[in-house]
Structure 1
Amino acid sequence: MIREADRSTGVLLASPPCEQCSWRRNMSDPQAESVLERDSGMPASTWRLRSDAWEFLRFAVKRLVYGDGSEVSEALAPDGEIRRSLRTLETVEMYWAGFGRRYTREIGELLDEGKFQIALDRIGKVVNRLRTAGTPEEATNLAVEEDEVETDVDPRPRFEVLVIDETTEADREAMHADVLRMRSSADAFVYEYVIVPSADDAVAAVLTNPNILACVIRPGFSERTKRSLSSDLRRSIELAHGAVTAPQTSLRNQLQSVQRVLGLADTLASVRPELDLYLMAGAHIEDLAGSLTKRFRRIFRREDQLELHLSLLRRVSHLYDTPFFSAIQDHARRPVGVFHALPVARGGSVVSSKWIRDLADFYGLNLLLAETSATSGGLDSLLAPVHTLKKAQELAARAYGAKHTFFVTNGTSTANKIVHQALVSPNEVVMVDRNCHKSHHHSVMLTGARPAYLEAYPLNEFAFYGAVPLSQIKQMLLDYRAAGRLDEVRMVTLTNCTFDGIVYDPARIMAECLTIKPDLVFLWDEAWFAFGAFHPVTRRRTAMASAKQLEQQLKTSAHAAAYQEQQERLFDADGNAAPDEVWINERLIPSPDARIRVYATQSTHKTLTALRQGSMIHVYDQDWVRDAEDPFHEAYMTHTSTSPNYQILASLDIGRRQVELEGFELVQRQLDLATSLKQSISRHPLLKRTFRVLTGHDLIPEEYRGVGGPMPLREGLSNMWEAWDHDEFVVDPSRITIEISRSGVSGDTFKHELLMDRYGIQVNKTSRNTVLFMTNIGTSRSAIAYLIEVLVKLAERFEEESAQRDPDQLVPEEVPMPPLPDFSSFAPEYASDEVLRDGDMRRAFFKGQRRNNVEYVLGDDLRARVEAGEQPVSAAFVTPYPPGFPVLVPGQVVSREVLAFMQVLDTREIHGYDPLRGYRILK
């Protein structure tokens, strides 16, 4: 067994216990309370490190119980693994409730007294609790011995409450006793206290313990921790404190203690905004109440323990509430006579059938009992929600940090169409990434807007695109300003994160674009980034968090002063703008009067719990009521079915409950597993000869890199935090792109014939020489182990085939992949002018729908035409899928670069292209 210390959490890192394994450790400080450094390259794994440490301790003490006694002296040596594990766990358990530090110390005392069986029983209780509280895999796949079963575990959902205050051991025991005294059998939930003495320890606790759902701040806490924390965790704490501005209050006498409390509250809210904050104050509580309510849900005096208890339970019940899912359940239980549509409702056409009863056998009767129509009464209407659906969407808005949220039951493709139609009018310009999902191109065509295509940087070696540099976006806006057409530009649309995991800095992009045009609207396609809202680092680059950050920033006096100072550099005394180079090279500061108008579309079903096609639209628009609400609802009704799938809606509701209550834990696990997979491939002697894990240095060109290393999370949470704070682009750690050129097979063959058909491993996307693996909140450690096992088998096969190949046999040269094609141009008859890139795509599209206006031309014939100097014009969208962005759009000139790319493309599914007849070209 390999044991490291985890730099980001201060937790023991261990692989699953194995009796044949031995631990490798750092002996530089055997007496230290906790040595919290780890080997470079090991991922931060808070969710599993604690349980693994207890698992090893159980294994080691079990050997003492059943051994012959010869190993006792060595095993219990001060510098031995058992003592070191206990010291580390004593530090770790400070940030967790349940058994706690005292329980850990008592185990050490039992070992000192030679009471090994009693110590083993106590350790077994911890291991059993951690197993049953973990993932289903951990709860079912690990055998629990009879002597370890804990029969008195409360089955009710359990959460933890962080209390920040300097306390004595007696105080802590009294607080825990109060919790037990107030607990009632009628309570729906059970909670326990985690008590820490300092602000630093509070931040460490909320960064490491995902079970914490509420914080109680008592003014007696100190600022700095006395614990031996790792350098990475200390740096993460500093970054968390530095992420918020100095608190301001309306109190006449801003006491230092008040400022300390406010500063800690702001830090905790920044790191984990889903946490409820409570203040337990003493004197002058009435004066404080009016000034601090924006930060705290309630303020109590210390004697109000019962009120605090009831508030904690009540608040978690609000998070647990799923109004629409509960309504569906209630409807399914009610006896109903169906004299309406839907023969399948209540199972009427199924359970009495001789031929399709297997439908109910397979899906279950509840699916049929829950089927109904909004017009039949009993459930809310998606098109005009007033009860349970309305509340469910409001709860989703709270969870994702939006002003408004709308459920969509037919995918983010439809969500994109809704937003485009609501915000854009014919002949307005939409600046859009040419490599975004095809639904955006279709949306632009439907609205009659004119697309101005932005080009992402190409990654020609791997045959896919990265992201659009900010300098290009700014330059296009400046070009429209120079042409006198800036007023025509309505919206900027970008994909965050991209299919391959490139993540923008939305706050910076929006700020700098708003400096040039203060009323721009932004649509962020976050189809693959819904999970980002539930991790302290990834949240910072979501559209909704960025919109809130920008809104708060614009209100500060410091921002107003910085804006005025920069304006003097950007404009001379006569109001003439500085050269474009100045605007491009400076980090632009928007006017305090700029409007924050931000929309995000998310495929909830892609990365969080929801049924297929379950998506959401999130809105953070300061001009919503005045300028967007009515057209949005019209667009919503245009594209939303009057018969939405209620099961999809219910899944969106209950999936929201999940991420509010355990999203941090699930996303952290997702990122940790991905990092473990990358490391396993990079370090395995056989795998690294065959496969190469692409890092940030492969996926982000040098000119767009910042402080981030190849894999920032591998180096610790603080490294990832700094990169996501400062770099123009970062890479989503949950994506693992593997370059497979040395395997000798194409990405498509690798995906279909080897991974899927032979081993049942599903992947979404490949390029000519890469395969993209993605972890999600449902990925397990067993799944990662299975994938590694399969990759080893494939690597062995590839090496054997290479070794067996006849050296005299000629191997056909692989056709080289041509450079990825940029957007050529709109044909002159569809282009807006000869200077800028936008064009009338809708007119070309509808012309191409008439048979007499088009002809089909095979690829070879079309290449001959282009080489002869013709400029054929596409009549249709030509879209390889995946990833789903068009290579050609209606009205676009067909270039030799596009044809060269299409000639060697090995994607099996290409929308808009007929392999028998060829390309559809306007006559």
Structure 2
Amino acid sequence: MTGIDSDQATAQEFEPTDLGGGRRHGRVGAPSTPRRAQLERDPGMPVSTWRLRSDSWEYLKFAIKRLAVSGGDFSMIAEDGEVWRSLRSLKTIELYWGGFGQRYVEEITDLLSNGEFDRAHDMITRAVNRLRGTTVPDTGEDDLTEDERAELKDRQDTRPRFEVLIVDETTEGGRDELHTDLLKLRNASDQFIYDYVIVPTADDAVAAALTNPNLLACVIRPGFTDNTREVLSRDLRDSIEFAHTSTKESPTAPMSPLNSVRRVLRLADTLANLRPELDLYLMAGAHIESLAGALTHRFRRVFRREDQFELHLSLLRRIQHLYDTPFFDAIREHARRPAGVFHALPVSRGGSVVGSKWIGDFVDFYGLNLLLAESSATSGELDSLLAPVHTLKKAQLLAARAFGAKRTYFVTNGTSTANKIVHQAVVSPDEVVMVDRNCHKSHHHALMLTGARTAYLEAYPLNDVAFYGAVPLSRIKQLLLDYRAAGRLDEVRMITLTNCTFDGIVYDPFKVMSECLAIKPDLVFLWDEAWFAFARFHPVTRKRTAMVAAETLEETLATDAHAAAYREQQKRLFDPETGAPAPDSVWLEEDLLPPPDATIRVYATQSTHKTLTALRQGSMIHVFDQEFSSGAEEAFHEAYMTHTSTSPNYQILASLDLGRRQVEMEGFALVQKQLDLAMSLSSAIARHPLLKKTFKVLTAADLIPEEYRVTERTMPLRDGLSTMWDAWVRDEFVVDPSRITVEISGTGVDGDTFKHEHLMDRYGIQVNKTSRNTVLFMTNIGTSRSAVAYLIEVLVKLAGKFNDPHELQEQDALTEPAAVMPPLPDFSAFAPDYAAEVPADDPSKQLPDGDLRTAYYAGLRRQNIEHVLPHELRRRVENGKQPVSAGFVTPYPPGFPVLVPGQVITAEVLDFMSALDTREIHGYDARQGYRVILKDVLEN
């Protein structure tokens, strides 16, 4: 979407969603006959509401200024239907935001219709200033109305601000009166300042929750109606329907107009499901005492209408609880307090730095507060990470609430350490762990450390772009059924999967866990969500997080409907006479239901620093384990102490505390912006004539085989939030829209060269991952529109360079032809010495698990190994030998092993490794070659 101040702006470049209706005026610039507003095509999230609102106001400022400068050339409005489209959209959008925006829209419409362009421009400028956070209007205060003066004074208040949604059926005048009365409750001594958004219907309440991220609380007053009277876009209407249908009670069920309690309950469930961070309050009249007992699990408090001041205090108190950062506050207080340091850590309070003649630049660069906050003391308010009882304990409890976990633990050495903690806590030697072979290397190392038997699951390969997708559920179920058939299902302890993958493939954790528990009801799940911490804070992505899936699964198993469905399915899965299970084909075809008494044991590890605000290596472990208190807690604490430093970095811990506060207060806004900007980038590449000639944005059709997709749209978010919602509900795998994989074959260079020589060295564009012919661009909650614009500008320059015949000749002279990338190698097998025993009665039933730890330690003994160069290793393989890897061989990125200890080295592995252009390969020495276990060691 083009910048709005450009003189090249056209109506096509500013095609906002027509969220609202209203009338087209029959005066200047409008059709002579008033008619009902027609809905324009909804471009969806690329112009999401936060941007649509901002861009529409900015466009009006630009357009009306042109009109005023032209001397009142009325024909300009007649030619520019975008002005009227923007006003119609804003008329509805502003209903869902605090302030006087909707009234501004009505007055501006009248002024434009009457040809008063200068006055209209002044009002638009005030609205734009308010949106930008500018406190002094361009036009001065003399022209302001009384309401505008009050709002200007309010906007000059520097206290943190939030908005409260009130659902109340009242007239426009009644809403204004209610708004005025409620604002009188605010006090100058309050720590926060808030405004009200008052809507009359349940649909409007859901629309506000979907579009206004500033909302942090909602007050429901019985008596509202269901259906909005606004003219909404298709996308917003469909999104409201999705929000309603995702609740426990179908919104299509008939309801009496007098059944206000049921209507309140349904709206409360919808809002809680949509935005769990919203605090819900009920303001009722009659029978409040009887309502309180039935509704308190949905509402934080129930008030009578005359208890306005108590409501005010409750709102502020709750926001204070969200705002609280106990450990960061303790660190800050510690830094302010004078102290004498007689412990380790010379850098504490700047002791070894401030007076130094040689490292004074340390404090100049990082600041004195960093040093004042350093301490090796773990007593008092600073607390101990290994045995927290005060500020750190509270900070972790707040994080658990924010992420929907039963418990949360901070980790200061990244998710690599978090993964090792969970593996050690849950798994014992010789228990089987089923794990995605292309998961992060920390899982493979953890399996080696624990002595678990590793059964690798194969993800579907994406050979054209040289990386893997995800593991299909059918393969997971089949392997579980194989273990059951072999009589070894009791040995299977845990399944480990990466959600989402480095390249953005997202599982459906609820479905995976449901069907796996149907085969083994006590299975433990570890979801590596290193790249997915942000997902908790968006209504659509939230549903595919491990913690939400675990909570939903717990609620589902407790219902009578599930118990009845489970009993019916068991009749199909087991022979009623013999009790023998049906053939595997039946189990694979059915959507399996877990038994109501299945145990839900779910762990999620998240790199907070990767996708949310935290210092590097700041991570969290989230726990939703029904057996945690009854037996798992001690093992977890032992594992936690095994891998956690006794000198953790307090700055990392404080940043985790602050990052949690941020996402609870503004996570929805930040994540929505992140997804929106990603769509802007992908759309720009797909539509720009030069860019689409050189680059290709890979879609779901490229990254997910058709058999794992039910929906048809390959970039769902581009069509709108509701289309994305549909895909994320129905498809087995979806693509995280914030991760944009761009195929670069049209440039003639490989991904590594494109990353280093063209993006980073020349333009300072930083990216994490490339493959032979792709580059991965990621937006995050810190990405700005300017950064996206700069990237697009750089890509256009590079596309021009790569399409210039003279540049191509020079490039061809300097660049060797890229090797054809061989297919991605599947995991070959563990060597017989480390593999599972072959069943004597049926060798075909051998299971894939192997002993990583024995092979690993065998490979560390010098006398057991030899180094073999690639050409010699290939000769041995061609002669029928089966050399065995003595260690991990891990190209980085993406960081998963191509070879693990004890694995048979095959020609496919060697072909893949020979074609790799990754500069960093852990476990491989180019001078000496591969480490291989000697044949004599294997034989003995």
TM range (shorter): over 0.9
**CA deviation after TM superposition for structure 1 residue 33, in Å:** 6.4
What is the CA deviation profile of residues 46-91 of structure 1, one whole-angstrom value per residue up to 9, with x for unaligned ones? Answer: 221101111111122223443323x1x3355598443432222111
Q: Distance in 2 between matches of 1:848 and 1:874?
A: 8
What is the CA deviation profile of residues 256-297 of structure 1, one whole-angstrom value per residue up to 9, with x for unaligned ones? Answer: 211111000000011101100011111110001011111000
**Could you tell me which residue of structure 1 aligns to residue 83 of structure 2?**
82
**Could you tell me which residue of structure 1 aligns to residue 31 of structure 2?**
none
**Could you tell me which residue of structure 1 aligns to residue 757 of structure 2?**
753
Q: Distance in 2 between matches of 1:807 and 1:724?
A: 43
1:427 counterpart = 2:430: yes
**Could you tell me which residue of structure 2 aligns to residue 827 of structure 1?**
831
Identical aligned residues as a percent: 70
**TM-score normalized by structure 1?**
0.94
**Could you tell me which residue of structure 1 aligns to residue 878 of structure 2?**
867
Q: Mean Cα displacement is larger for which, 644-653 or 189-198?
A: 189-198
Distance 1:225 1:39, change over 3 A: closer
Q: Distance in 1 between matches of 2:815 and 2:306?
A: 82
Q: Is the 8 A contact 2:42 2:233 kept in 1?
A: no
Gaps (5+ residues) in structure 2?
25-33, 145-151, 839-845, 935-940
**CA deviation after TM superposition for structure 1 residue 115, in Å:** 4.4
What is the CA deviation profile of residues 604-632 of structure 1, one whole-angstrom value per residue up to 9, with x for unaligned ones? Answer: 00000000000000000111111211100
**Could you tell me which residue of structure 2 aligns to residue 5 of structure 1?**
none
**Could you tell me which residue of structure 1 aligns to residue 100 of structure 2?**
99
What is the CA deviation profile of residues 7-37 of structure 1, one whole-angstrom value per residue up to 9, with x for unaligned ones? Answer: xxxxxxx742323423248999955665543
1:364 counterpart = 2:367: yes
1:632 counterpart = 2:643: no
Q: Distance in 1 between matches of 2:743 and 2:82?
A: 40
Distance 1:327 1:507, change over 3 A: same
Distance 1:736 1:288, change over 3 A: same
SS at structure 1 position matched to 2:636: helix
Q: Mean Cα displacement is larger for which, 115-124 or 323-332?
A: 115-124
**Could you tell me which residue of structure 2 aligns to residue 894 of structure 1?**
905
**CA deviation after TM superposition for structure 1 residue 246, in Å:** 2.1
Distance 1:808 1:457, change over 3 A: closer
SS at structure 2 position matched to 1:587: coil
Distance 1:288 1:263, change over 3 A: same
What is the CA deviation profile of residues 898-918 of structure 1, one whole-angstrom value per residue up to 9, with x for unaligned ones? Answer: 111001111000000000000
Q: Mean Cα displacement is larger for which, 545-554 or 52-61?
A: 52-61
**Could you tell me which residue of structure 2 aligns to residue 600 of structure 1?**
604
**Could you tell me which residue of structure 2 aligns to residue 526 of structure 1?**
529
1:782 counterpart = 2:786: yes
Q: Is the 8 A contact 1:503 1:731 kept in 2?
A: yes
SS at structure 1 position matched to 2:353: helix
Q: Is the 8 A contact 2:44 2:721 kept in 1?
A: no
**CA deviation after TM superposition for structure 1 residue 102, in Å:** 1.7
1:616 counterpart = 2:620: yes
Q: Distance in 2 between matches of 1:536 and 1:305?
A: 30
Distance 1:532 1:916, change over 3 A: same
**Could you tell me which residue of structure 2 aligns to residue 154 of structure 1?**
157
Q: Distance in 1 between matches of 2:99 and 2:606?
A: 37
What is the CA deviation profile of residues 680-725 of structure 1, one whole-angstrom value per residue up to 9, with x for unaligned ones? Answer: 0011100111111100000001111111411000011111001000
1:837 counterpart = 2:840: no
> What is the identity, as a one-letter code, of the residue corresponding to 1:732?
D
**CA deviation after TM superposition for structure 1 residue 146, in Å:** 7.1
Q: Is the 8 A contact 1:35 1:230 kept in 2?
A: no
Q: Distance in 1 between matches of 2:703 and 2:561?
A: 36
Superposition RMSD in Å: 2.3
**Could you tell me which residue of structure 1 aligns to residue 646 of structure 2?**
642
**TM-score normalized by structure 2?**
0.92
Q: Distance in 2 between matches of 1:303 and 1:910?
A: 69
Distance 1:79 1:780, change over 3 A: closer
1:334 counterpart = 2:337: yes
Q: Is the 8 A contact 1:77 1:83 kept in 2?
A: no
> What is the identity, as a one-letter code, of the residue corresponding to 2:298?
R
**CA deviation after TM superposition for structure 1 residue 568, in Å:** 0.1
Q: Is the 8 A contact 1:866 1:872 kept in 2?
A: yes
Q: Is the 8 A contact 1:403 1:618 kept in 2?
A: yes
Q: Distance in 1 between matches of 2:80 and 2:921?
A: 63
**Could you tell me which residue of structure 1 aligns to residue 890 of structure 2?**
879
> What is the identity, as a one-letter code, of the residue corresponding to 1:913?
Y
What is the CA deviation profile of residues 394-435 of structure 1, one whole-angstrom value per residue up to 9, with x for unaligned ones? Answer: 000000000000000000000000000000000000000000
Q: Mean Cα displacement is larger for which, 752-761 or 107-116?
A: 107-116
Q: Distance in 2 between matches of 1:145 and 1:244?
A: 47
**CA deviation after TM superposition for structure 1 residue 157, in Å:** 1.1
Q: Distance in 1 between matches of 2:807 and 2:326?
A: 62
**CA deviation after TM superposition for structure 1 residue 829, in Å:** 0.7
Q: Distance in 1 between matches of 2:812 and 2:271?
A: 67
SS at structure 1 position matched to 2:382: coil
> What is the identity, as a one-letter code, of the residue corresponding to 2:107?
E
SS at structure 2 position matched to 1:805: helix
Give runs of aligned pairs for residues 528-567 of structure 1, distance below 5 A.
528-567=531-570
Gaps (5+ residues) in structure 1?
3-13, 134-138
**Could you tell me which residue of structure 1 aligns to residue 148 of structure 2?**
none
Q: Distance in 2 between matches of 1:701 and 1:604?
A: 30
Distance 1:33 1:422, change over 3 A: farther
Q: Distance in 1 between matches of 2:438 and 2:874?
A: 23
Distance 1:859 1:380, change over 3 A: same
Q: Is the 8 A contact 2:161 2:194 kept in 1?
A: yes
SS at structure 1 position matched to 2:164: strand
SS at structure 2 position matched to 1:616: strand
Q: Is the 8 A contact 2:698 2:740 kept in 1?
A: yes
Distance 1:715 1:254, change over 3 A: closer
**Could you tell me which residue of structure 1 aligns to residue 463 of structure 2?**
460
> What is the identity, as a one-letter code, of the residue corresponding to 1:99?
F
1:568 counterpart = 2:571: yes
Q: Distance in 1 between matches of 2:574 and 2:69?
A: 82
**Could you tell me which residue of structure 1 aligns to residue 55 of structure 2?**
52
What is the CA deviation profile of residues 777-820 of structure 1, one whole-angstrom value per residue up to 9, with x for unaligned ones? Answer: 00011111111111111111111147753999999653211110
1:439 counterpart = 2:450: no
**Could you tell me which residue of structure 1 aligns to residue 924 of structure 2?**
913
Give runs of aligned pairs for residues 201-600 of structure 1, distance below 5 A.
201-246=204-249, 256-375=259-378, 377-573=380-576, 574-600=578-604
**Could you tell me which residue of structure 2 aligns to residue 193 of structure 1?**
196
What is the CA deviation profile of residues 524-573 of structure 1, one whole-angstrom value per residue up to 9, with x for unaligned ones? Answer: 00000000000000000000000011111111111011000000000012
Q: Mean Cα displacement is larger for which, 476-485 or 336-345?
A: 336-345
